[in-house]
Chains A and B, each alone.
Chain A
Amino acid sequence: MADDKSCTEETLYSGLSPSIVSHGSKLGLQARSMRQTDVVKSYLKRHLPANRLMANEDNISRRQVHLSRTVKKKKFDLTSQKKKKLTNRERKGMKVFKIPKENQSYSQQLPLHQAWKQYMEEVIPSSSVSSPGAVQAACQKVVKAELQGGMLTVQRSKCPSYVGVCGIVMQETRHTFTFITSSDKVKCVPKENSIFALELHGHIFTIHGSHFKVKAGERSSKKFKSKPTTDL
C-alpha cells in the first residue's frame, strides 16, 4: 500500500481465490471500502498508550522550550577522573621517593640534622627535661615529633643484621625508616620487630617500632595507647 488512495475492490481482494471473488455476492459477502490513514489510526489506537494519542502533535504551542537556562548533561567519564591522581604505587614506580645518588651523602644531610636539632629544641627545651615527670611528658612529645633529620640507632631487632645501624633519618614511611649512615650508605630498616634509640638532651628515648607504624604525617594527631607487651 504505497500510495494514499482508497483501496479498490480489485486490489483488496486480490489475495482471495477467484472462486470466492466471483461467487462473493451469492455468499452475501460485502465489499468494504478502506482508507490507508484509517488503518494506521486504528492500529495506533489499539497499540499506543493513551498519552501519546494527542491530537495536533505538530502544534508547537504545546511544546515547552526553556530558553533561560540551557543545561548540558555532563558526561561522567570514569577514566578521566582516575587519571587526575596517581596511586602510591604509581608514584613509587616513577621513583618519586627514590633519593638520587648524588644526594646520598652524609655531609649533605648534616645541615638537615642541625635544623632538626633546632626544631627539637623548640619542641622540647633542654631545660624542661630535668625531672622524671618532665621526661615522661617529653616522651609524649617525641612520639608526635618529626623524626626526619634525627639521628636514630637500631638498638634491637629480630633480624640481627639491622642491629647497630645508625644514621640520619632521610625518610619515614608508615612501615620503614630510611637512614643515611656516616659511611654514606642508605639503609632502609622496617619498623616492625625493631627497637630504635634516639639521643636527646642527654636522655636516650627508646622507640618501639612495632607500635610506631603510622604515617609520619598522621603520627602527630594519633593517640598512642599503652600496649601490654613490648616483646618483638
Chain B
Amino acid sequence: MAAPFANGAPNSKLVFEKSSFDDPKSSHERVLNTKYFTHNASIILPYSSSAAQLQFEISEIQDQQVTYLIRDVPVHQLVDKEFIEAFVKKGQLYILSQRRHIDTHNCAAVFPTGHLLLHITKDTYEQLGLEGKPSVFSSLKPTKYVVDIDLKPDSFTPGRKGYDRVLWCLKDRLGLTFDLLISWNPHDEKICASSVSKFFKSKGLVVSPVPWCVQTQWQNKVRTPVLDSTVVTATEDACGRAEAWEWLGAMACGIDLSESCADNYISTLSCPTPSGSCPRCCVLSVSGFFTPVTTKWLLEKVRNEVESKQEKNKVPWGSVTFHGFQDSPVSVGSREHGFFQEGDNLHSFLTFCNKDYWLYSAYGHHDLCQ
C-alpha cells in the first residue's frame, strides 16, 4: 500500500526575485520593514583592489538602535495601560522573547503594528483562558496555539470587559514570565530610546543592554563567480542565481573553495565557473537583535559600497543576508513561523552597480510563503 509520509521530507522554500532599487514597485522596502526581528546580518564584498577598505564603520550600528534584555518580565506588564500609551501607541516597539524554543515553549512578541502575539503550548492555552487559533502547522491534534491581542484600539483600556479579561488571564491565572529583547524607536527625536529601559527599571526588573558582535574576515586571492544582473540562469559568460546562492552560503560559512580543496573530505564545493580572481574579499558578520531600522541602514551601506565610484574600492557586486530568529513566532509581517527541522527564515540581497538587485528569500518547512 502506498501511503504518503506525514511530515516527510522538509518542504523548504527559496523565492528568487530580480528587481531594481529604482523600480517604484520594488519590494525591498516592504520586505525589510516587515521583517521585524533579525538575528544576524552577513555581508560579502569582493573588492577588485588589494588595498580596499570598508567605507563605513560597522560600529556605527549602535547609533541606529538600542536593545535591552529584560529578565523575567511578567507578561501583564506588556498590557499595562501606561506602557501602551507611552511606547506601543507612539514610536515603534519591537519585543521578542528570548531563549524559548518555538515548537515546545511559550513565546511572545510585540510588533510595531501594536499586536501582542502569544505563541503558547496546548497546556498553557487550556489554562490561560484567552481565545486563540491553533497553529497553522499543527496536525489534527494541535500542540501550539496563537493568541493575538491588539493593544492599539482605544477600547483596549481598563474598565472595559476585553481589557479586564486579558489582564486577569495574564496576571492572576498563570503568571507567565518571559525574558524579553526590547527595542524601541522613538516617534520624537527629543525622546531617548532608552526610556523604555527606564520604564522597566522603575517596575523593579533587571535590564541590561544587549551587545552585538562583529566578525570581520579579509580573505586574499579568492575566486569569485562572475555575475551579471540580467543573466539569471547560468551561461558561458556569467553564473546563474543558484550557483551564486551556493557560493554566498559557502563563503559565509567559511568553507575553503579553492581548487586545491575540490576533492576535500569535508566539502567538494568549488567556485562555480566562470569565475574571476578577487584580490581582497570582505566577509563580515554582525549578530545581535536588529530591527528594520538597522537592516535598512546595513543595506544602504552595502549599496553605497557597491555603487561607489572610487577606483580603490571597486566592487562588482555585494551581498547582504539577513537571518531571522529561528525561534521567532513570525517570519515576515504576521506570517507564522515554526522551527520543525531548521527554522530558517532569511533574506539575501545581491546588489549590483546598476542598482539592480537579486533578492533570495529562504523559508523553512514551518513557514508560510506568499
Contact = CB atoms under 8 A, between A and B. Distances in A.
Interface string B91-128: 00000000000000000000000000000000001111
B173 interface: yes
A167 to B, nearest CB: 16
Nearest to B165: A164
B127 A155 contact: yes
Given A164-B168, A164-B173, A158 B126 contact: yes
Nearest to A161: B131
A163 B127 contact: yes
B130 A160 contact: yes
Nearest to A195: B126
Nearest to A154: B129
Contacts of A161: 129, 131
B169 A164 contact: yes
Nearest to A155: B127
Interface residues of A, number: 9
A158 B145 CA distance: 12
Interface in B164-209: 168-169, 173
A206 to B, nearest CB: 12
Interface in B25-46: none
A160 B118 CA distance: 14
A160 B123 CA distance: 11
Contacts of A232: 126
A157 B127 CA distance: 7
Interface string B119-162: 00000011111111000000000000000000000000000000
A156 B173 contact: no
A163 B126 contact: yes
A156 B131 contact: no
A157 B169 contact: no
B132 A160 contact: yes
B113 to A, nearest CB: 23
A163 B131 contact: no
Interface string A147-171: 0000000011110110110000000
B173 A160 contact: no
A163 B129 CA distance: 5
SS of A interface (majority): mixed
A129 B126 CA distance: 30
A160 B173 CA distance: 12
B168 A160 contact: no
A78 B326 CA distance: 72
A232 B126 CA distance: 9
A156 to B, nearest CB: 5
B141 to A, nearest CB: 9
Nearest to A193: B126
B249 to A, nearest CB: 43
B47 to A, nearest CB: 57
A158 B125 CA distance: 8
A156 B168 contact: no
A158 B169 CA distance: 15
A157 B129 CA distance: 8
Nearest to A163: B129
Interface in A127-162: 155-158, 160-161
A156 B169 contact: no
Interface string A185-212: 0000000000000000000000000000
A156 B127 CA distance: 5
Contacts of B130: 160
A160 B125 CA distance: 7
Nearest to B132: A160
A232 B123 CA distance: 9
Contacts of A158: 126
Contacts of B129: 160-161, 163-164
A111 B337 CA distance: 53
Contacts of A164: 129, 168-169, 173
Contacts of B127: 155-156, 163
A109 B168 CA distance: 26
Nearest to B172: A164
Contacts of A160: 125-126, 128-132
A94 B169 CA distance: 39
Nearest to B147: A160
Given A163-B128, A163-B169, 12 more contacts: A156-B127, A158-B126, A160-B125, A160-B131, A160-B132, A161-B129, A163-B127, A163-B129, A163-B173, A164-B168, A164-B169, A164-B173
25 contacts: A155-B127, A156-B126, A156-B127, A157-B126, A158-B126, A160-B125, A160-B126, A160-B128, A160-B129, A160-B130, A160-B131, A160-B132, A161-B129, A161-B131, A163-B126, A163-B127, A163-B128, A163-B129, A163-B169, A163-B173, A164-B129, A164-B168, A164-B169, A164-B173, A232-B126
Interface of B: 125-132, 168-169, 173
